[in-house]
Amino acid sequence: MGKLYIVPTPIGNLEDITLRAINILKKADTILAEDTRTSGKLLQHYEITTPMQSHHMHNEHRTVDAIIKRIVSGETIALISDAGTPAISDPGFLLTRACIENDIAVECLPGATALIPALVNSGLPNDKFVFEGFLPVKKGRQTRLKLLAEEARTMVFYESPHKLVKTLGQFVDYFGEDRPVSVSRELTKIYEETIRGTAAEVLAHYSNKPPKGEIVIAVAGKK
């Protein structure tokens, strides 16, 4: 029987990948990639010639069974996403669960993820925290925000640039304008920045300067 490796990839800077990750990607029989065009640039950079197969949120329900059969037959599969650690707001959970249900060995390598650097950069308490990922777009969003208004731990969110101002405005409404907030943008990339302040101050900043790129928000818990 083969094995599934879950391999984190850089979130920006191509040097943020481990030697072990490179070796596993080279030795695997197949690499499952969220977007083969995006991952192709990384593989080319490290001269990795392992065949790739598309595995993303729109096809993972249909492809899991076939992948399981291949691993059972002896193939070693490496799963990657466009950036960061697979299954963290990216495809990966369904395949991991299916492997475990079929007694297939699963090994997740340590490596890049956006939420930890953003949390540490924030300067907010990080001995205990809760990762919320993306808030619900419509249904359940207000209910979730009402519950989180009472959360005592630091909260970490992912957000798209065109929704950041709306989300910060809702943080002001539900958490209060004085709640400490930190927004990290384009982590590990050329234009990386972290803006810290109260919810009202950070909202004012991005209302006047529309953001671009990948965004992680850290919010202090309720005192």
My answer on whether 61 and 130 are in the same domain is no
- What CATH number does the domain containing 136 carry? 3.30.950.10
- Which neighbouring-strand residues pair with 53? 32
My answer on whether 126 and 210 are in the same domain is yes
Domain that holds residue 20: 3-108
CA–CA distance, 187 with 115 (Å, rounded to integer): 10
Q: Are 216 and 114 in contact (CB under 8 A)?
A: yes
My answer on whether 64 and 134 are in the same domain is no
* Residues sharing a CB contact under 8 Å with residue 94, sequence separation 6 or more, in sequence order: 60, 61, 64
> From start to end of the chain, where are the E strands?
3-6, 30-33, 52-54, 76-79, 105-108, 129-133, 154-159, 180-185, 193-198, 215-219
My answer on whether 127 and 99 are in the same domain is no
My answer on whether 35 and 78 are in the same domain is yes
| Residue ending a domain, choose from 89, 108, 127 | 108
- What CATH number does the domain containing 22 carry? 3.40.1010.10
My answer on whether 199 and 134 are in the same domain is yes
CA–CA distance, 211 with 67 (Å, rounded to integer): 39
My answer on whether 123 and 143 are in the same domain is yes
Phi, psi of 17, deg, nearest 5: -145, 145
My answer on whether 53 and 129 are in the same domain is no
Token code pair at residue 71: 């691993």
Phi, psi of 161, deg, nearest 5: -60, -35
H or E, element range at 145: helix 141-148
My answer on whether 122 and 199 are in the same domain is yes
State residue 138's pLDDT score: 86
Per-residue pLDDT of the chain (223 residues), as tens digits, is 899 999 999 999 999 999 999 999 999 999 999 999 999 999 999 999 999 999 987 887 888 999 999 999 999 999 999 999 999 988 899 999 999 999 999 999 999 999 999 999 999 999 999 999 999 998 899 999 999 999 999 999 999 999 999 999 999 999 999 999 999 999 999 999 999 999 999 999 999 999 999 999 999 999 9
State residue 148's pLDDT score: 98
State residue 59's pLDDT score: 80
My answer on whether 78 and 121 are in the same domain is no
| Residue ending a domain, choose from 59, 82, 108 | 108
State residue 56's pLDDT score: 83
My answer on whether 213 and 122 are in the same domain is yes
Closest CA to 31 of 89, 70, 88: 70
| Residue ending a domain, choose from 108, 124, 152 | 108
State residue 151's pLDDT score: 98
- When divided into structural domains, the chain yields a total of 2
CA–CA distance, 152 with 156 (Å, rounded to integer): 12
My answer on whether 87 and 137 are in the same domain is no
